[in-house]
Amino acid sequence: MNRRRWLTAAALAPVAGAVIARAADVASTPPAPSPRESIQARYLPNVVLRTQDDKEVRFYDDLIRDKIVTINFIYSTCADGTCPLITANLVQVQRLLDRHVGRDIFMYSITLNPRHDTPKVLKRYARAYGVRPGWEFLTGQPDDIEFLRRKLRFTDVDPAIDKDPSRHSGNVRYGNEPLMQWAMCQGQATPKYIADSILWVVPKPA
């Protein structure tokens, strides 16, 4: 190799080394999360819950992933009438959705009082309202329930209202997880309005 070629090769060596190092960095960098993964990480924590049948489930893995769902919060000793009214309303919604529930659509009510609302208590509560299959009532550790409530945005901007269970949100969140379609409606709206809203995220037959 003559002097000129040697100098050229020597000059390019650091550049080539930098390019190789950069390529190695890129190869070792994990890919950015997909929009669906970002939604899951931000809003749908995989906390452990228990159903009214005392079955342990993971919120995201077992209840949400690849499903169309409705979610609301209740507690069995709710005294102001909000929970009984909304639960009775959602029973009518379940009737209107008929065969979709438990097949295409899955309904979830999560207690705000997990210390009292054991699976046995929630089972009695569901039975008292004539709830049909496809609608799960869920409890868990208090910290996990609170974490889930906040992640799902069932919160109030007023801290005093937010920490008072008797003034909790009466909304129903519904969504199509794989299509990343999420919305919310009032739990005391007419059953037909709620059912039609939920069906909006159900894909129509081709």
Asked if residue 77 has pLDDT above 70, the reply is yes
Torsion of CA 173, 174, 178, 181, to 10 degrees: -90
**φ, ψ (nearest 5 deg) of residue 53:** -95, 15
Structure tokens at 1: 């190799």
Characterise 91 by phi-psi region: left (phi > 0), alpha (psi -120 to 50), beta (else).
alpha
Q: How far apart are CA 108 and CA 176, in angstroms?
A: 14
Helix 191-199 vs helix 82-97: angle between axes, to the nearest 10 degrees?
A: 60
Asked if residue 147 has pLDDT above 80, the reply is yes
For 140, the 3-state DSSP assignment is strand
Average pLDDT, the chain: 88
* Predicted TM-score (pTM) of this structure: 0.84
For the stretch 89-117, pLDDT in tens is 999 999 999 999 999 999 999 999 999 99
In this prediction, residue 4 has a pLDDT band, given cuts at 50, 70 and 90, of very low
Asked if residue 53 has pLDDT above 70, the reply is yes
Region 19-28 average pLDDT: 53
User: Which of 96-100, 128-132, 162-166 is least confident?
Assistant: 162-166
Structure tokens at 21: 């190092």
